[in-house]
Amino acid sequence: MKCKQIRVKIRETKNEICAICKKPILGEYIVLNGQKIHPEHYRCESCGCDFMGGNCKEHNGKNYCYDCYEKLVKSVCAGCAKPIIGRSLTALQRTWHPECLCCSVCGETFVQGKYYEHDGKAYCQFHYYKMFGKICPRCQKVVEDDGISAIGQIWHPACFTCHGCNKPLSGSVYDYESKPLCKHCFGKLPKAVRQALVDKMEARKKFEKEEMKRKKAELKAQAKAADAAAKGRH
């Protein structure tokens, strides 16, 4: 609904009172909805801009510029914060222009609207898996199916080969600067380096064992507390 037609009076008066600020009107005034007001009050309720060229819309008794009015009555894009007029997408519990929903790392838009979510942000497949642990360190491609978990990373089975001789790995695998080595190539390293790697592997195994023990104890305590609470209710 457009604002009602206004009239501007240019004359000196001491008898008129502004309907908004309740102060005397000295000079020109505007008649808006049958009430006289100072011209400076005729602004957008939201952003405070002047109304130019009829750029005025009324909503719930208040006046807004066109952009602010559109934000009030239509969806606002979560990406660009502009009103959505036309097609939109709903994702991450918000509404978007199709071109504004993109990977938070590279800015790539999502083919067929497919995206990956983490902590309220959208990612393309590559950056989602790269940041959260499913990019093969050998070929730098996504491990979509079951991969091999070793030395703290996920590998394509075909990529899980010795960094020294490039032969498929089986049995003991040694971690050399996050690169897997077979037993034969590991044996070629200087003795001091081998010992340091062995100590590192043993420390990691000890930590993983203690972490598993801690988690089991935590789950046991939670189950015990749940049982006690259930008995208390009875």
Q: What is the pLDDT of residues 12-47, one digit of tens each?
A: 445 688 887 888 888 888 787 778 888 777 788 888
What pLDDT score does 15 carry? 67
Is the pLDDT at 7 greater than 60? The verdict is no
The pTM of this model reads: 0.39
Q: What is the mean pLDDT of the chain?
A: 81
Would 83 be classed as within a structural domain?
no
Would 138 be classed as within a structural domain?
no
Would 109 be classed as within a structural domain?
yes
**Same domain, yes or no: 170 and 217:** yes
**Same domain, yes or no: 69 and 98:** no
**Same domain, yes or no: 60 and 95:** no
**Same domain, yes or no: 23 and 53:** yes
Would 139 be classed as within a structural domain?
no
Would 204 be classed as within a structural domain?
yes
Is the pLDDT at 67 greater than 90? The verdict is no
Would 146 be classed as within a structural domain?
no
Is the pLDDT at 54 greater than 80? The verdict is no
Q: Are 26 and 40 in contact (CB under 8 A)?
A: no
Among 73, 102, 124, which residue terminates a domain? 73
DSSP notation for the chain: -BPPP-EEE-S--SS-B-TTT--B--S-EEEETTEEE-GGG-B-TTT-PBP-TT--EEETTEEE-HHHHHHHHS-B-TTT--B--S--EEETTEEE-TTT-B-TTT-PBPGGG--EEETTEEE-HHHHHHHHT-B-TTT--B--S--EEETTEEE-GGG-B-TTT-PBP-S--EEETTEEE-HHHHTTS-HHHHHHHHHHHHHHHHHHHHHHHHHHHHHHHHHHHHHHHHHHH-
**Same domain, yes or no: 100 and 66:** no
Distance CA 101, CA 142 (A): 22
Total domain count, the chain? 3
**What backbone phi and psi angles, to 5 degrees, belong to 168?**
-55, 145
Q: Are 37 and 18 in contact (CB under 8 A)?
A: yes
Q: Per-residue pLDDT averaged across 1-5, rounded?
A: 50
- Contacts with 152 (C-beta within 8 Å, 6 or more apart), sequence order: 175, 178
pLDDT digits (tens, 9 = 90+) for 101-158: 999 999 888 866 788 888 888 998 888 888 886 888 889 888 877 788 888 888 899 9
pLDDT digits (tens, 9 = 90+) for 158-179: 999 999 999 998 878 888 888 8
Would 171 be classed as within a structural domain?
yes
* Residues spanned by the domain of 13: 7-73
CATH of residue 103: 2.10.110.10
Would 233 be classed as within a structural domain?
no
Distance CA 128, CA 105 (A): 9
Of 150 and 6, more confident:
150
